[in-house]
Structure 1
Amino acid sequence: MKILIYGAGVIGSIFAAKLSLSGQDITVLARGKRLQEIRDAGIVLRSPETRKEEVVRVKTIESLPPGEKYDYILLAMQRTQVDAVLEHLSQNSTENIVFIVNTAAGYDEWKNAVGTERLLIGFPSAGGERNDGVVSYFIGRGLVRMFQTTTFGEISGERTGRVDDLIEIFNLAGIPSVFCSDMDAWQKTHVSLVTCIANALYGHDCDNRKLAASWSDVEEMVLGIKEGFIVLRKLGIRPTPRKLIFFRLPTCVLTAFFKIIMGTKIAEITMAKHCMVAKTEMIALQGEFDQLIEKSGVKTPHIDLLRSNLAKPTPGEKASHK
């Protein structure tokens, strides 16, 4: 398959490298320093556990020509970066454009830009951080899939051949992937989760182990997530995927469980490190979910308290102000 990865951040780099290693024809669209890093040294992935590095050479471009057609374009970037690239995507003739982007706001804007018939939705179970051109990464496998698996679907909910092909490609690349018939519900659920977790981390300088040491703050995070699910149900949206039904367990049980989870290396790589560099996105996502809260009429005191942590500067913001 001829695939363009549009965006060379952590997720784009992981996907580009793993898909290329599995035999796909991969091109990466990147700009500035990141483009030069990839051209000079390739995509460098490092396992945080083993410290083993993989160096993968891929083709690169810095702009998307209207006439250059791919089997798939995978748009992998933060929510706040998407608007700037919609016009370029609209002018390209590729028939399958996959938005791998966090949002709780629905897809009308994206449908208007590229057309309903070209639009697919996905979301990764992967994460990490990039330093000096090296991506320390994690892919959701095993027990982690209890929370989240890389997921793809059509906005219509139909299971189509192009979705099945995409899932097969990712599975062959070692990125466990599944189908979802309601990606909008899936993403709204994910935003309700990730905003509470991120806001709890912002209350502890994005230090997951400090958060894990506080029963009361982990409990507040769990209560916020439960409130978010109440909001979704009030709007007729079933929290998705169904395996998240375990959030109906007693708060004390979930708090004990998340105290363990938040103290792990996985939480550091996939949650804390991301929150450190993605605060602008988290503010935008919280704003999107706040619109759902307002529409539902549900009182959300725990989410309100967690939201107040967005006003606290991250360690990086503190350093920049010195």
Structure 2
Amino acid sequence: MKFLIYGAGVIGSIFAGKLASSGCDVTVLARGKRFNELKKHGVILMQPGAKKQEQVFVKVIDTLTPEDIYDYIIVVMQRTQVDTVLPVLSQNKSPNIVFVVNTAAGYDSWAEAVGEKRLMFGFPSAGGERQNGQVNYFIGKGFMRIFQTTTFAEYSGKTTQRLDVLVQIFRKAGIPAVITRNMDNWQKNHVAMVTSIGNALYRYDGDNYALSHSYKDVRLMISGIKEGFSVLSRLDIQITPTKLYFFKLPTGLLAIIFQVFMGTKLAEITMAKHTVAAKDEMKALQDEFDILIRKSGMITPSINQLRKNLIF
């Protein structure tokens, strides 16, 4: 099975390394310094607490031509970057293009660019940071799956053979994966969460440990998330996945739980580091969610208060 990972950041590197280690034929599209790092040293992964690096050599390209055919192209990049690659993807003839991109704005422009029949989606339960060519990473397993599991979907919402194959390949690579029938709902719910979490962290310059010491600000963060879900409910967008009904617990109880979580290394790796590294994307996601707020006609005082932290 031939994969192209279009984007060589943290998530792209994790996917590339794990898929290649499991026996897939993996090519990574990268540019500049990252292209040279991958050419010379391959993908270097390191889990927290591990004693040894995982080093996997993959093919590396810096340009995708129309004739470069892969079984799956997995587009892994920030929301602010994806529109620039749509013309290239539209010309390529590969049959399956999987957008692993955070958005609350729907998929019309992507469907127009690559065609509805080729369009698939994914979202990772993985993260970390890249330092000196090495990716220090985590993958959502065990307890972490309470919050999120790597998820894939078809544009049509159907469960197809190619979708089942993709999920099985990821599971074989050590990345637990599931299917959703409505990725648009799934992602809108995700953005409702991450915008409030990110904006709460920005008050403390991305320091999750500092945030964990403020019950008031963590409670405001939880109130913002709940307001976000209420906005979606007003627009007849269901909570997806169902595990997010966890947020129906009392605000005070959730604030205590998240105070504890925000004081952990896991919160630093899974939330804080990405928030700091992706300010432009977080601003774009807030802008997208603000459109939904206006459509709902709801008043969102907690979200409004948290949004002020985006001024940096």
Q: TM-score, normalised by structure 1?
A: 0.96
Give CA-to-partner distance per residue, 1:6-64, whole Å, 9 cap, x none. Answer: 00000000000000000000000000000000111111111122253111100000000
Aligned residue for 2:67, secondary structure, equals coil
Aligned to 2:309: 309
Aligned residue for 1:135, secondary structure, equals strand
Deviates more, 1:253-262 or 1:12-21: 253-262
Aligned to 1:103: 103
Task: Provide the rounded CA distance (Å) in 1 between the counterparts of 2:205 and 2:27.
Answer: 36
Aligned residue for 1:110, secondary structure, equals helix
Task: Provide the rounded CA distance (Å) in 1 between the counterparts of 2:207 and 2:272.
Answer: 6
Quote how far apart the aligned CAs of 1:186 are.
0.1
Q: What is the correspondence of 1:69-108 to structure 2 with a 5 Å cutoff?
A: 69-108=69-108
Quote how far apart the aligned CAs of 1:232 are.
0.3
Task: Provide the rounded CA distance (Å) in 2 between the counterparts of 1:50 and 1:266.
Answer: 15
What one-letter code is carried by the residue in structure 2 that aligns with 1:44? I
Q: What is the correspondence of 1:188-267 to structure 2 with a 5 Å cutoff?
A: 188-267=188-267
Gaps of 5+ in 2: none
Task: Provide the rounded CA distance (Å) in 1 between the counterparts of 2:239 and 2:283.
Answer: 22
Task: Provide the rounded CA distance (Å) in 2 between the counterparts of 1:98 and 1:216.
Answer: 40
Q: What is the correspondence of 1:1-322 to structure 2 with a 5 Å cutoff?
A: 1-312=1-312
What one-letter code is carried by the residue in structure 2 that aligns with 1:178? V
Task: Provide the rounded CA distance (Å) in 2 between the counterparts of 1:80 and 1:278.
Answer: 10
RMSD: 0.7
Task: Provide the rounded CA distance (Å) in 2 between the counterparts of 1:219 and 1:49.
Answer: 32
Task: Provide the rounded CA distance (Å) in 2 between the counterparts of 1:85 and 1:281.
Answer: 16
Gaps of 5+ in 1: 313-322
What one-letter code is carried by the residue in structure 1 that aligns with 2:69? K
Task: Provide the rounded CA distance (Å) in 2 between the counterparts of 1:231 and 1:143.
Answer: 28
Q: What is the aligned-residue identity percentage? A: 61
Aligned residue for 1:121, secondary structure, equals strand
Quote how far apart the aligned CAs of 1:260 are.
1.2
Task: Provide the rounded CA distance (Å) in 2 between the counterparts of 1:63 and 1:302.
Answer: 44
Aligned residue for 1:82, secondary structure, equals helix
What one-letter code is carried by the residue in structure 1 that aligns with 2:83? D
Aligned residue for 1:117, secondary structure, equals coil
Q: TM-score, normalised by structure 2?
A: 0.99
Aligned residue for 2:117, secondary structure, equals helix
Task: Provide the rounded CA distance (Å) in 2 between the counterparts of 1:180 and 1:50.
Answer: 32
What one-letter code is carried by the residue in structure 2 that aligns with 1:269? I
Aligned residue for 1:206, secondary structure, equals coil
What one-letter code is carried by the residue in structure 2 that aligns with 1:95? P
